[in-house]
Amino acid sequence: MSPALEEKLAFTATLTGSYGAAGLVAGKWGCAVDDSVLHALVQRVGSKAETQTQERLQQVPQESQPQRRASELALLMIDGWLARFRGPGWGKKKSEQERVNGTKSRTECFTCMSKPAEPKGAGGVIVDKTVVRSQGDSMDLGRRRHWEAVRGGLGRAKEKLVLGDGMVWIWNLKANRWPDARALLDFWHGGQHLWSLGRAYNGMEEAKAKPWVESDCIGCAMDGGKQF
């Protein structure tokens, strides 16, 4: 493969949902390629990119746009899920090894927002946004995220907010990396917990739980949580 072809194939694999789908798309632009070849290519390119990332993380981060005025809000959204990867038994008809491995993947999205000049009363404007992923532990994710966030203007932001789904590792990461930031449980997961509580409190009956959750709990939460 030429470097140009490797770049095109790796880019195609990035934008599709699987190596098989990437192979089909590549065939449409004139390069029939097996999914196993694409898998090997992505592993090789990814390993090189990770080495470059580790080298970059050893350096002191410099803000990318120091001339920009300080942001009103720096928002760090954190989540995790189980990602599926090809295991050592992938592609074998008979194998005692796992064909698919489930690996914990963690993601953080960092957003800097500022108030628009006009019109007055309008919502904030996103001035910078980056996404960081890690297959390591939460501390590894925090190290990567903090480095990129400093580049994005975290140090000069007037307010910092960490948004998460309530998992303990997220709040531990916040305490470790951004102790001065506010913490906020996202509305969707908060609603889930309220519904679970409402069903348990009202004998698991949906009809009884609905007015308790929607009128009492969510209503006072929208009013600033004064009743909690």
Q: How far apart are CA 226 and CA 228, in angstroms?
A: 6
Residue 66 lies in a domain: no
Query: Do 114 and 128 lie in a common domain?
Result: yes
Under a CB-based contact definition with an 8 Å cutoff, are residues 14 and 20 in contact?
no
* Whether residue 119 has a cis bond before it, omega within 30° of 0: yes
The confidence band for 171, taking pLDDT boundaries of 50, 70 and 90, is very high
Number of structural domains (the chain) is: 3
Q: What is the DSSP letter of 214?
A: I
Under a CB-based contact definition with an 8 Å cutoff, are residues 183 and 174 in contact?
yes
Under a CB-based contact definition with an 8 Å cutoff, are residues 128 and 153 in contact?
yes
Query: Do 77 and 168 lie in a common domain?
Result: yes
* Structure-block tokens of residue 114: 């500022």
Q: Reply yes or no on whether the pLDDT at 52 is more than 80.
A: yes
- Expressed as residue numbers, the domain containing 149 is 71-86+96-185
Q: Reply yes or no on whether the pLDDT at 225 is more than 50.
A: no
**Angle (nearest 5°) at CA 178 between 175 and 183:** 70
The model carries a pTM of 0.77
Q: What percent of the chain has pLDDT over 90?
A: 54
The confidence band for 94, taking pLDDT boundaries of 50, 70 and 90, is confident
Under a CB-based contact definition with an 8 Å cutoff, are residues 79 and 164 in contact?
yes
* For the ranges 77-81, 116-120, 218-222, the one whose mean pLDDT is highest: 77-81
Residue 181 lies in a domain: yes
Query: Do 155 and 79 lie in a common domain?
Result: yes
The confidence band for 227, taking pLDDT boundaries of 50, 70 and 90, is very low
Which residue would you say has higher pLDDT here, 27 or 199? 27
Least confident of 2-11, 111-120, 174-183: 111-120
Q: Reply yes or no on whether the pLDDT at 189 is more than 70.
A: yes
Strand 125-134 to strand 100-114: parallel, antiparallel, or no bridges (unpaired)?
antiparallel
Query: Do 81 and 146 lie in a common domain?
Result: yes
pLDDT digits 0-9 by tens, 101-156: 777 788 878 888 887 666 665 667 888 899 998 988 999 999 999 999 999 999 99
Residue 37 lies in a domain: yes
Confidence (pLDDT) at 175: 95
Q: How far apart are CA 125 and CA 122, in angstroms?
A: 9
**54-to-4, 31, 106, 151, 208 alpha-carbon distances in Å:** 25, 33, 17, 16, 54
Query: Do 181 and 75 lie in a common domain?
Result: yes
Query: Do 54 and 116 lie in a common domain?
Result: no
Confidence (pLDDT) at 121: 59
How far, in whole angstroms, is CA 66 from its chain's centroid? Answer: 25
Residue 65 lies in a domain: no
Confidence (pLDDT) at 84: 80
* Structure-block tokens of residue 218: 């969510």
Q: Reply yes or no on whether the pLDDT at 81 is more than 70.
A: yes
Residue 228 lies in a domain: no
Query: Do 106 and 201 lie in a common domain?
Result: no
Residue 2 lies in a domain: yes
Query: Do 80 and 171 lie in a common domain?
Result: yes
